[in-house]
Amino acid sequence: MQSGSQSASSVVRECLARIERDNPKINALTQVFAREALSRAAEIDDAIVRGVPVGPLAGVPIAVKENICTTLGQTTCASRMLANYASPFDATVVERLHAAGAIIIAKANMDEFAMGSSTEHSLFGPTRNPHDLLRVPGGSSGGSAAAVASGLVPVALGSDTGGSIRQPASHCGVVGLKPTYGRVSRWGLVAYASSLDQIGPLARTVEDAALVTRVIAGHDPRDSTSSHALASDLAITPFDGPWSVCVPREGRGEGLSPGVAAAMDEAIARCRAAGATIIDVDLPHAGHAIAAYYLIATAEASSNLARFDGIRYGHRASANGDGPPITDLDMLYRLSRSQGLGREVQKRIMLGTYALSSGYYDAYYQTALKVRRLIKQDYDRALAAGRTAAGGAASGHAVVLMPASPGPAFAIGSKTSDPLAMYLEDVFTVGVNLAGLPAITVPIDTERAGTAALPIGVQIIAGALDERTMLRAADRIASPCPTAAR
């Protein structure tokens, strides 16, 4: 577009045509801002013609997950509780996309309040995997992943609390990047679990994901957890020293589908061919990550979602209609939250409230925090061993290679009645959030399921604020994104 070979307006019109044709089948996008996007594109085209400097994302259409605040449309979190909420401000990431010239063209479907691994728990109905419409796209950023995989948009923003960018990226065959906790501002992200949430991009190439991350990263004084680390180092460059890949034994055991096991083997072979030293490591506390995560995340959700009570925010039960008459404040709270929040969200709030209650706080929540520290130490030790194997702590570079999910995308409805099976979808991703580390999922291969070729990705994990090493490794092993059948 900056060279003049394409206009922003023509790109937006192409996206809108694909959305009109394909989104009804996939249900990836919930709100489309056609008029506003075309108006913004015309402004960018005019600036390019006049020689006015434009940003690095000038004219690029981007979809934004439903839990990221935008002044365009509503910010619903895919919940009846916020069905009519219009944000009076843009999230920091949206402000930075605008400043870089990007065009917010749509909002993307998600699991309600980001609580899910399949994008089936949504006010707008389930999103379908564009590679097989009978299967899930993963979650909770399934709408963002499916939109990129099907070509509705070139880039989308998601949020990742326990794998919600990386797992759907694997299921849909795209690149999904979760930055270090604090690398990207959370201001304007509707909180699920504040110590775990992080915003990141889904894209078709590692290079595009890196570019978008450079745009949205950087310190924000409105977010007290925001890092002061510079975003300028988020570039893909050749390794300036030896590097190693740490392969946890816990990621190669039983429970992997044949396709995921083969993808891990292929990824290891590609790393070795690119000059990496491969070492086996242990993450001794990895088996406790799911339990720790679902205590910490639900406890924080119980606190964060307390504001959605029908008085301060959100759906308010009415005395009119088919329900019982509202006789007191307690009944108003109960009815408003029962009507406004879905079953999965209610369940997690109740779990978190129980874990924080008198007599159980120490036994559950405090113990989970201690396990969280042990998991962080496991990753630190593994990466330190990798740097040593690669030539010493001062010069070596190291990453951890893990599956992104135990298997490919599963059938819609096949796990909704089995919460444990659904939670185990994130068995390889939640530890990264507990440790606050950066990770990226890249496509590697596909696994046949009937007539469909289902994408398989692996995730690459690096030390805190070491996205540069992670991006270098990812760029060397990623396969092109598979084309989704329309």
DSSP state for residue 81 in the 8-state scheme: G
| DSSP 8-state assignment for residue 66 | T
Q: Report CA torsion sign: 51, 54, 60, 62.
A: negative
Which contiguous run of DSSP H or E holds residue 446? Answer: strand 439-449
Q: How many CB atoms lie within 10 A of CB 241?
A: 12
Query: Is 62:153 a contact under the CB 8 Å cutoff?
Result: yes
pLDDT in tens, 348-378: 999 999 999 999 999 999 999 999 999 999 9
Q: What is the pLDDT of residue 451?
A: 81
**For residues 20-38, average pLDDT:** 98
Catalytic residue among 144, 164, 185, 227: 164
68 close to 75: Cβ distance less than 8 angstroms: yes
Is residue 227 situated within a structural domain? Answer: no
Out of 329, 362, 395, a domain closes at: 362
- Give residue 485's pLDDT: 61
Query: Is 164 considered catalytic here?
Result: yes
In a domain, 230, yes or no: no
Spatial distance between the Cα atoms of 339 and 326, rounded to a whole number of angstroms: 13
Any domain includes 333: yes
Q: And the tokens for 44?
A: 């960018």
Cα–Cα–Cα angle for 24, 148, 12, rounded to 5 degrees: 75
Out of 87, 117, 122, 140, the active site residue is 140
State residue 394's pLDDT score.
56
Radius of gyration (Cα) for the chain, nearest Å? Answer: 22
120 and 182 co-located in one domain: yes
Q: Report whether pLDDT(295) > 60.
A: yes
- CA nearest to 182, candidates 215, 229, 115: 229
pLDDT tens digits for range 386-432: 999 887 655 679 999 999 999 999 999 999 999 889 999 999 999 99
Give the pLDDT confidence score for residue 163 in this predicted structure. Answer: 98
Average pLDDT score, the chain: 95
Residue 133 lies in a domain: yes
β-pair type (397-403, 243-248):
parallel
Question: Which of residues 216, 233, 265 is at a domain's end?
Answer: 216
Exposed/middle/buried for 303, CB within 10 Å: 0-12, 13-18, 19+? middle
Residue 369 domain-assigned? no
pLDDT tier for residue 136 given thresholds of 50, 70 and 90? very high
- For the chain, give the percent of residues with pLDDT over 70: 98
Whether the full predicted model's pTM is greater than 0.85, yes or no, is yes
* Residue 316 lies in domain: 292-362
Percentage above 90 pLDDT, the chain = 89
The verdict on 276 and 299 lying in the same domain is no
Contact status, residue 184 vs residue 143, Cβ threshold 8 Å: no
**Is 140 designated active site?**
yes
The answer to whether 424 and 407 have CB atoms below 8 angstroms apart is no
pLDDT at 449: 87
Does residue 387 fall inside a structural domain? yes
- Decide if 253 contacts 219 (C-beta within 8 A): no
- For residues 384 and 358, membership in a common domain is answered with no
Same-domain status, 70 and 107: yes
Domain co-membership, 12 together with 46: yes
Residue 228, both tokens: 């002061």
pLDDT over 90 at 106, yes or no: yes
Residue 421 lies in a domain: yes
Q: Is 194 a catalytic residue?
A: no
d(CA 372, CA 260): 26
Q: Which residue has the tokens 């998991």?
A: 375
Same domain, 139 and 276: no
Please give the structure tokens belonging to residue 370: 């201690």
Instruction: Please give the tally of structural domains in the chain.
Output: 3
Place of tokens 């092993």: 477
Expressed in percent and rounded to 5, the helix, strand and coil fractions of the chain are 40, 15, 45
Block residue for tokens 């540069």: 468
* Whether residue 182 is found in the same domain as residue 104: yes
d(CA 62, CA 52): 22
pLDDT in tens, 219-265: 999 999 999 998 877 889 888 889 999 999 999 988 899 999 999 99
Residue pair 124/80 in contact (Cβ under 8 Å)? The answer is no
Residue 232 lies in a domain: no
pLDDT, one tens digit per residue, over 425-477 is 999 999 999 999 999 999 999 998 888 899 999 999 999 999 999 999 999 99
Same-domain status, 90 and 197: yes
Same domain, 343 and 385: no
pLDDT > 80? residue 76:
yes
> How far are the Cα atoms of 62, 351, 414 from residue 17, in angstroms, in the given order?
15, 44, 33
Q: Is the dihedral of CA 170, 207, 197, 32 positive or negative?
A: negative
251 shares its domain with 269 = yes
Whether residue 347 is found in the same domain as residue 209: no
Classified as helix, coil or strand, 202 is: strand
Instruction: Give pLDDT, residue 322.
Output: 62
Confidence of residue 2 (pLDDT cuts 50, 70, 90): confident
Give the pairing type, strands 29-32 and 61-65.
unpaired
Tell me the C-alpha distance between 293 and 297, whole Å.
6
Q: For position 398, which CATH number holds? A: 3.90.1300.10
160 lies in the same domain as 300: no
